[in-house]
A and B are shown apart, each in its own frame.
Chain A
Amino acid sequence: MNIFDYLRPATVSEAVAAASEPGSAYLAAGTNLLDLMKGGITRPRRLIDINHLPGLDRIEHLPGGGVRIGALVRNSDLAHDSDLTRRFPAVAEAILSGASAQLRNAATVGGNLLQRTRCSYFYDVASACNKREAGAGCEARGGDTRLHAVLGWSESCIATHPSDFCVPLVAFDAVVEIEGATGRREVPLESFHRLPGDAPERESVLEPGELIVSVRLPAEAAAFSAHARYLKVRERTSYAFAVVSAAAALRIEEATILEARIALGGVALKPWRTRTAEEMLAGARPDLAAFRRAAEAALADAKPSGDNAFKIELARRIVTRALVLAAAGTPERVPALPASPFAPVPGVLLHA
């Protein structure tokens, strides 16, 4: 048996203290972590089970209009919270497009943010991987790279971050609330995940022992609720990670875009916010030409990391489409095939 310690702290501070020991890992639902342990990809010496920590499983609607989502809120509970669905519909749609119902029932908010890449060379322990072992090399380079990164990658790692949930979160300026040995701090989600650079083994700004306690969506994000969508292209209709995905949200008044938010998933080692493209849309009319220009700008810096140039073109088209969908208006309820190009869109001709 792989012998490791298993601790079930009763308070956040106990958890942080326990996890500060080297070789520790937090265990949330384990839908990612246990797979990694079974495959020998990670071998933590101590598991700190956070499932019983008090107070982390709440969705709090804050007085100012923001919402604080506890790190242990299950993905399904969040996506079916009627207030959240109404005010941040793209977030619900993104969650519901991920994994399967069973996984969403278990998976937590904190775990979703910190899920590891799906790079198959990362999972294959016989392959060299800089992320698994600093400095070992990257065997994905020159291998099967069809689904690897096209933005923000480096010579040392070309993997992507697979989360759907994070994509609208980053578009909406979500903030990660972190508890560490020295107290609480906040980091905008946009700077929470690290690009690989020459240290792909460091995936986020978390210091050893630091615990995500919640994620906060600011009140301003609700202003997009009438025009907010998530779109995810995948290789089967459900239960697949994104090849490329995008969240798009608009504030439109009198046929003019006041403000736009755009983020991409599946293209980089972090959820990818595209501020230049957003700025181009401010003040523009919500039409196809403007959306195409924004999409061009969003992918301006993209370059293939292997056999994946198609993802750049695909990403442009997804951004364009997500903007078209957002402009058309948020549907009354999350469609039956959330975020899918096959989601029914009553009365709207999207693909003319």
Chain B
Amino acid sequence: MPEIVLTQASAHLRHGSNIGQPLTRRDGVLKVTGAARFAADNHPPGMLYAVLAVSSIARGRVTFLDLQAAKAHPGVVEVMTPANKPLLAEDPDAKTNPFIFRLDVLQNDHVRYANQPIAVVIAETLEAATEGATLLFPRYETEAVRIGLEAGESFIPPGVGIGNPAETHQGDVEAGLAVASRRIDATYETAAQYHNAMEPHAIVAAWDGDSLSIDMPSQGLAMALGRVAGLFGIPPESIHIRSPFLGGGFGSKGLISGPQVLGIMAARLVGRPVKLVLRREQMFGPVGHRAPTRQTVRMGSDSDGALTAIDHHTKTASSTFDDFFEPASDISHTLYASPAISTSHEAVRLDTGTPLFMRAPGEATGSIALESAIDEMAEACGMDPLAFRLKNYAEVEPISGKPFSSKALRDCYAQGAERFGWARRPLASRQMRDDAGLLVGWGMGTATFPALMFQGQARAVVRNDGTGIVETGAHDMGQGASTALAQIAADGLGLDLDQVEFRSGTSDLPDAGIAGGSSHTATAGMAIHSAGADVIARLADLATGDERSPLFGAGNAGVIARRGRLFRRDDESRSESYAEILARAGLAEIEGRGNSAADPAAQSSYAMHAHGAVFAEVKIDPELGQIRATRLVGAFAAGRVINPRLVRSQYYGGMIWGISFALHEHAVMDPRSGRPMNPNLGEYHVPVNADVPSLEAILVEEHDSYVNALGIKGVGEIGITGTAGAVANAVWHATGIRIRQFPITLDRLIEPTP
């Protein structure tokens, strides 16, 4: 059984065998039978349906809405507009901290992007509300729109991502480039991607006086609670949010969105519960997207293929009214050793919704450019791309000089390459064909993602029947958090999984931190682990201090918690069950609390990242240009694996997004109107099954004693990184054509025949 080092009370050990088991999702049966109740499945008595009317212009003002027509429609109860919307306690345009984003909740008649809500129609039925919204026939005063990275004035943003500096310089890049014997200077473009989880943003809101009950998918319950409390001027205690299941989040449900706030406002306005669900096309505006980028990477290397300089510059875009700048260049801080590294960002403001966090924000976008550039550099040096990466392997974090808390990237390269058969790859491009004559190309990329932790809390209880309860407001976005965290909870209490009731997904539980930044298992898991330690320590105190207990006097020796009993550490023949200890003490239950947070000392001493290596094969029809990623092998090292089945599916999902990034996904924006032209899943392409014929993820063993006591890094986002570049590099290797605009579409491979 794996032994877990305790953070607080190392006097006691806990043994369990739940961590590491490939359990299936505990909510799997509920989901496949349809019994899982997602937010929009709730219908409280008296509920009305709200439907958004959204703007078809991207910039200007709403001058007229045909309220009469909408209200006259049978079933329509009310139309909410800037004129009659309930007053908010807080200005939705106020920016009080970097995690507060400005919302469009009918504060005025201005339009700042296409698909911005301009009215909400509330009706007895969904059909009536939908028709009411159609009948509004808005009229606008339109201004010229700014769409595309060429639009608007470019500036250096005050910061990128969440509080990262826009520029970072280490060493002298120009000098490094000057001494280089080989140089590349390449510009890559990535397209805007829009959040499209299967479950669109939804809310069912019900007011009871000044108390508010909400069903809503959320990746950040505590933050949503705070935001709603602030906006509506009510104490957080009088708000209850339930989010037991999410149909995907990917960052889009980290913060409550404008449309969800509008659902709460609508319920207040009509004094009845209201449901509001976004239509698919309404996802393309108010709920965040990945901003487009244009990235220029300059690199130099000496004659041995050692990098002398990396310069990574990103031009990106935010909205006209808020700040989120895709930190794409920052990926170059951590991956490849170079005496000089410079990263910088510039931005323009466009008439779009505010870009936001989308799975690996910055890392995914930056990775495809960096990994393509590394491939080009290896090619310039006449080196195998893996050999080139090993040559420039970063033994310490390049930008900071800090050692890595752990880094099994060499193992990832080795195991991935071995499994893929990389050694058989011809160096030159356009060398391989399959039996049917299709071009075959092999490419690779390095994956990386920081090992982050937020602050979290948990509560654990052992009852006198020997069972346990563990509570934390964690978020199961479909990734299986409630399964993996229950495994940690069981081991944390030294109980079998079926002896522990794990509660999560509501706002009245201890704050589990936001489910973002691939930090949720570490954050919530460590809080649970600590809460378990607290309970065990209390139980041990009861037993070791009681002369009637066989454990009396073992306080210094310590105890081991295992399968519902405490054992004396130096004499395991002496033990007592939790139930016996509580019964003798006359207690019905005993409670413990736990907190988690990143350890600042460890953070200042170590660079903490997960790593991986992804190898991709593509096949391309030489004349027709159609591309298919036929085989992908990823090998990832991300510390301790709590549940290999769930971890593997996170890698799969990330890698599939990587294929999407390289070959499929992009929002088509009409530059004249600013409207997204493919706002539906028929035309906004993501890979289908036939696009992913073979996918493997190898879990590379890695032990990290610095990230946190459980040794957990994150696995949610890393899969996109590395993969997108690997696919793009494979396209080059297959064809000899270097496409630097992503996604790579077949028209770019169709050169007219001479």
Which residues of chain B are within 8 angstroms of A125 by Cβ–Cβ distance?
Answer: 56
- Nearest B residue to A126 via CB reads B56
- How far is B391's CA from A237's CA once the two chains are assembled, in angstroms? 37
Which residues of chain B are within 8 angstroms of A1 by Cβ–Cβ distance?
Answer: 73-75, 125, 127-128, 130-131
- How far is B752's CA from A118's CA once the two chains are assembled, in angstroms? 26
- How far is B134's CA from A39's CA once the two chains are assembled, in angstroms? 10
Name which of A108-116, A140-148, A149-157, A278-286 contacts chain B. Answer: A140-148
Name which of B443-451, B546-554, B677-685, B718-726 contacts chain A. Answer: B677-685
- How far is B128's CA from A10's CA once the two chains are assembled, in angstroms? 30
Residue pairs across A and B with Cβ atoms less than 8 A apart, 17 shown, are: A1-B73, A1-B131, A2-B130, A124-B677, A127-B673, A144-B670, A233-B746, A235-B664, A235-B685, A236-B663, A238-B690, A239-B688, A311-B747, A317-B624, A342-B438, A342-B619, A351-B622
Decide: B675 and A236 in contact? CB cutoff 8 A: no
- B673, B683, B691: the one within 8 Å of A126 (CB): B673
CB distance from B351 to the nearest CB of A (A): 15
Decide: B624 and A321 in contact? CB cutoff 8 A: yes
Which residues of chain A are within 8 angstroms of B199 by Cβ–Cβ distance?
Answer: none
- How far is B691's CA from A238's CA once the two chains are assembled, in angstroms? 7
Decide: B624 and A233 in contact? CB cutoff 8 A: yes
Decide: A120 and B677 in contact? CB cutoff 8 A: yes
Residue B436 interfacial (CB < 8 Å): yes
Decide: B677 and A144 in contact? CB cutoff 8 A: yes
CB distance from A123 to the nearest CB of B (A): 8
**Given contacts A236-B664, A240-B685, are A40 and B134 in contact (CB under 8 A)?**
yes
Decide: A2 and B688 in contact? CB cutoff 8 A: no
Residue A341 interfacial (CB < 8 Å): yes
A-B interface, 10 closest residue pairs, ranked by CB to CB distance from nearest = A351-B437, A126-B56, A237-B690, A238-B690, A1-B127, A341-B621, A310-B747, A120-B677, A317-B623, A310-B750
- How far is B621's CA from A201's CA once the two chains are assembled, in angstroms? 37
A87-143 residues with Cβ-Cβ distance < 8 A to B are 118, 120-121, 123-127, 139, 142-143
- How far is B78's CA from A148's CA once the two chains are assembled, in angstroms? 42
Decide: A342 and B628 in contact? CB cutoff 8 A: yes
Decide: B675 and A235 in contact? CB cutoff 8 A: no
- A118, A143, A310, A337: the one within 8 Å of B672 (CB): A143
Indicate the size class of the contact surface on chain A: 35 or more
Which residues of chain A are within 8 angstroms of B433 by Cβ–Cβ distance?
Answer: 351
Residue B625 interfacial (CB < 8 Å): yes
- How far is B422's CA from A176's CA once the two chains are assembled, in angstroms? 55
- How far is B56's CA from A118's CA once the two chains are assembled, in angstroms? 20
Residue B626 interfacial (CB < 8 Å): yes
CB distance from A328 to the nearest CB of B (A): 11
Which residues of chain A are within 8 angstroms of B131 by Cβ–Cβ distance?
Answer: 1-2
- B130, B746, B752: the one within 8 Å of A235 (CB): B746
**How many positions in chain B have a CB within 8 Å of any CB in the partner chain?**
50
Decide: A120 and B691 in contact? CB cutoff 8 A: no
- B134, B622, B668: the one within 8 Å of A120 (CB): B668
- Nearest A residue to B671 via CB reads A143
**Given contacts A120-B668, A235-B664, A238-B688, are A352 and B675 in contact (CB under 8 A)?**
no
Decide: A243 and B746 in contact? CB cutoff 8 A: yes
- Nearest B residue to A318 via CB reads B624
Which residues of chain A are within 8 angstroms of B57 by Cβ–Cβ distance?
Answer: 126
CB distance from A292 to the nearest CB of B (A): 9
A62-106 residues with Cβ-Cβ distance < 8 A to B are none
Which residues of chain B are within 8 angstroms of A243 by Cβ–Cβ distance?
Answer: 746-747
CB distance from A290 to the nearest CB of B (A): 16
- How far is B135's CA from A2's CA once the two chains are assembled, in angstroms? 10
Residue A289 interfacial (CB < 8 Å): no
Which residues of chain A are within 8 angstroms of B159 by Cβ–Cβ distance?
Answer: none
CB distance from A209 to the nearest CB of B (A): 27
Decide: B623 and A348 in contact? CB cutoff 8 A: no
- How far is B683's CA from A83's CA once the two chains are assembled, in angstroms? 34
Residue A198 interfacial (CB < 8 Å): no
Residue B499 interfacial (CB < 8 Å): no
* B66-92 interface bits toward A, Cβ cutoff 8 Å, 1 = contact, 0 = none: 000000011100000000000000000
Decide: A313 and B753 in contact? CB cutoff 8 A: yes
Which residues of chain B are within 8 angstroms of A255 by Cβ–Cβ distance?
Answer: none
Which residues of chain A are within 8 angstroms of B628 by Cβ–Cβ distance?
Answer: 237, 342
Give the most central of B56, B663, B750, B752: most A CB within 10 Å: B750
CB distance from B658 to the nearest CB of A (A): 15
Residue B152 interfacial (CB < 8 Å): no
- How far is B624's CA from A342's CA once the two chains are assembled, in angstroms? 11
Residue B687 interfacial (CB < 8 Å): yes
- How far is B57's CA from A120's CA once the two chains are assembled, in angstroms? 16
- How far is B680's CA from A118's CA once the two chains are assembled, in angstroms? 12
* B600-633 interface bits toward A, Cβ cutoff 8 Å, 1 = contact, 0 = none: 0000000000000000000101111110100000
CB distance from B290 to the nearest CB of A (A): 19
Residue A8 interfacial (CB < 8 Å): no
Which residues of chain A are within 8 angstroms of B623 by Cβ–Cβ distance?
Answer: 317, 320-321, 351
CB distance from A15 to the nearest CB of B (A): 26
Residue B33 interfacial (CB < 8 Å): no
B649-676 residues with Cβ-Cβ distance < 8 A to A are 663-664, 668, 670, 672-673, 675
- Nearest A residue to B623 via CB reads A317
Give the most central of A125, A143, A318, A348: most B CB within 10 Å: A143
Residue A194 interfacial (CB < 8 Å): no
CB distance from B744 to the nearest CB of A (A): 10
Decide: A352 and B437 in contact? CB cutoff 8 A: yes
CB distance from B181 to the nearest CB of A (A): 38
A326-352 residues with Cβ-Cβ distance < 8 A to B are 337, 340-342, 344-345, 348-352
Which residues of chain B are within 8 angstroms of A202 by Cβ–Cβ distance?
Answer: none
Which residues of chain B are within 8 angstroms of A40 by Cβ–Cβ distance?
Answer: 134
Decide: B436 and A2 in contact? CB cutoff 8 A: no
Decide: B624 and A314 in contact? CB cutoff 8 A: yes
A234-278 residues with Cβ-Cβ distance < 8 A to B are 234-240, 243
- Nearest A residue to B114 via CB reads A126
- How far is B75's CA from A313's CA once the two chains are assembled, in angstroms? 55
- Nearest A residue to B279 via CB reads A38
Residue B689 interfacial (CB < 8 Å): yes
- How far is B481's CA from A176's CA once the two chains are assembled, in angstroms? 56
